[in-house]
Structure 1
Amino acid sequence: MTAPRDPLPLSGRQPRAVRSALAVLEEVVAAGPGITAKEISAALKMPQATTYRLLNLLVGEEYLVRLPDLKGFALGRRAARLAVPVTTTPPTAARAVVDHLRGLVRWGVHLASFGAGQVTLVDPDPDHPPSDAALLARYPQVSALGRLLLADQPEWRALVRELRVFTEHTVSSTSELAARIDEVAHDGIARQCGELRADRGCLAVPVRAPGDGRLVAGLALSGPATRVADPNIELVALLREHADRLAPLLA
């Protein structure tokens, strides 16, 4: 019996092209958002025509995105999926801070990290189980923690796979979501009211490294959607205070 033929056999040039494309991705990872095609070409000693061709291909396949000013590139949605997020247990001192907040409020208190460009719960409240972790990772736009992550990205649209509707309150237009993300960036607090579950909402604040302001985690309160819509000022202050206490422990 004749073995089935490979419908798309590799030519002699294709493995080299694959290696070149991976090298471009590595250079964007190493340099960070904003690296230009000219800089990539120089760093890899690659002809500019080849560099532009590979960049266009990687952008078309959503492994890279062009930044809004069109002056550089950043990792796209599909590139984030190449890295497996490592869930690490927070230090004992950090867990103590989270537990202290839980003892002061009747809300669920959750701590998340943002490794590999997605929301990963590292200390979910055992007494107030959060929404499914896979949904939080896949659809960051419908959670307060996810909106913290999006607001910190140079091009947040690269992390939004689809505007899936979960309830009648779910933001379902790009323009409305953009307005919400702008609010998070301006106010330093994110919220969602009944967008993932109609009866539940969430408030979240960033935990930033004391030295460079880098986003390292998010601290969230989950509770009734009606209370999230009009949160108590003292409650928000308490949330921010504990996020500040977590910063040096998680940086």
Structure 2
Amino acid sequence: MTGPIPLSGRQPKAVRSALHVLEEVVAAGPGVTAKEISESLAMPQATTYRILNLLVAEEYLVRLPDLSGFALGRRAARLALPATTVLNTAARAVVDHMRAQTRWAVHVAWFAAGQISLIDPDPDHPAPDASQLARFPYAFALGRLLLAEQADWRALVRDVRPFTARTVTSESELDRTLKAVARDGLARQCGEFREDRGCIAVPIRGPRDGRLVAGIALAGPTARIAEPNEEIIKLLRDHAARLAPLLA
């Protein structure tokens, strides 16, 4: 049996340098440039570029679509454990009130470290499978809230596949869809994961910094979800606003 590959004298330093570059991207935020990283870390530009190219190839970083800088990639998001949370008593009362106002399913999701967790699925209605929601966020309204927040949504999506004839899978169409979500503060999908089901979701943001912390969704029959549903959307937004100070 082959034993572990020994590290050379230079490899630990290279690993530390790569970790420093990752930390700098986290600290600086999406769009930080190679030059800025090099200057901040007092690292030779040639070394910085070499490390950045390696981290992009391994999907720990991504280049932004306009090539203006770098952002965390899919694999970097997996390095952080998602924060687990439960609804406190006040938040539970708001969600229960929402459920009492409609016969549709009401689900609440939590967003942390580029990941999505279903923290309060409706106990009286079928809920999305948690693993599928996390793996294929583009096919769910709650997942689209998360993707619309990213500098490059491709960093969080490893596998794009159709689940029904309605599933949006082309990059250009997903780009348009997610830009509309970011603009309107509203995500919708009609029969894209299951032919007979759809959902509408709105974000829950921190009152002070506007940070996306959670989302609340209504799920129901596809035909009903496709309707304008102005009253339902207002109901969602009102309850999201009430939840914001309780979850931020």
TM-score (norm: length of structure 1): 0.94
- Distance in 2 (CA, whole Å) between partners of 1:9 and 1:198 is 53
Query: Given that residues 144 and 220 in structure 1 are in contact (C-alpha distance below 8 angstroms), is that contact kept between their aligned partners in structure 2?
Result: yes
SS at match of 1:114: strand
- 2:213 — aligned with what? 216
| TM-fit CA distance, 1:235 | 0.9
Deviation per residue, 1:139-170 (Å, 9 max, x gap): 11000001011111111111111211211211
SS at match of 2:213: strand
- Distance in 2 (CA, whole Å) between partners of 1:4 and 1:48 is 37
| TM-fit CA distance, 1:56 | 1.0
| TM-fit CA distance, 1:186 | 1.9
Q: 2:222 aligns with which of 199, 222, 225?
A: 225
- 1:173 — aligned with what? 170
Q: 1:190 aligns with which of 182, 187, 191?
A: 187
| TM-fit CA distance, 1:17 | 0.8
- Letter of the 2:2 partner, please give it: P
- 1:68 — aligned with what? 65
- 2:128 — aligned with what? 131
- 2:15 — aligned with what? 18
Q: 1:4 aligns with which of 2, 10, 14?
A: 2
SS at match of 2:193: coil
- Letter of the 1:42 partner, please give it: E
Q: Do the aligned partners of residues 98 and 5 (structure 1) sit closer, same or farther apart at CA in structure 2, a change above 3 Å counting?
A: closer
Gaps of 5+ in 2: none
Gaps of 5+ in 1: none
- Distance in 2 (CA, whole Å) between partners of 1:188 and 1:145 is 11
- Letter of the 1:82 partner, please give it: L
Q: How does 1:194-205 map to 2 (within 5 A)?
A: 194-205=191-202
- Distance in 1 (CA, whole Å) between partners of 2:128 and 2:211 is 26
- Distance in 2 (CA, whole Å) between partners of 1:21 and 1:164 is 32
- 1:36 — aligned with what? 33
- Distance in 1 (CA, whole Å) between partners of 2:200 and 2:230 is 12
- Distance in 1 (CA, whole Å) between partners of 2:190 and 2:99 is 21
TM-score (norm: length of structure 2): 0.95
SS at match of 2:239: helix
| TM-fit CA distance, 1:213 | 1.4
Does the alignment pair 1:155 with 2:157?
no
SS at match of 1:119: strand
SS at match of 1:194: strand
- Distance in 1 (CA, whole Å) between partners of 2:189 and 2:31 is 30
- Distance in 1 (CA, whole Å) between partners of 2:99 and 2:199 is 15
Deviates more, 1:84-93 or 1:197-206: 84-93
- Sequence identity (%): 70
- Distance in 1 (CA, whole Å) between partners of 2:134 and 2:61 is 19
| TM-fit CA distance, 1:9 | 4.0
Deviation per residue, 1:157-193 (Å, 9 max, x gap): 1111121121121112112211211221122100111
Query: Given that residues 41 and 48 in structure 1 are in contact (C-alpha distance below 8 angstroms), is that contact kept between their aligned partners in structure 2?
Result: yes
* Count of paired positions: 248
Q: Do the aligned partners of residues 57 and 205 (structure 1) sit closer, same or farther apart at CA in structure 2, a change above 3 Å counting?
A: same
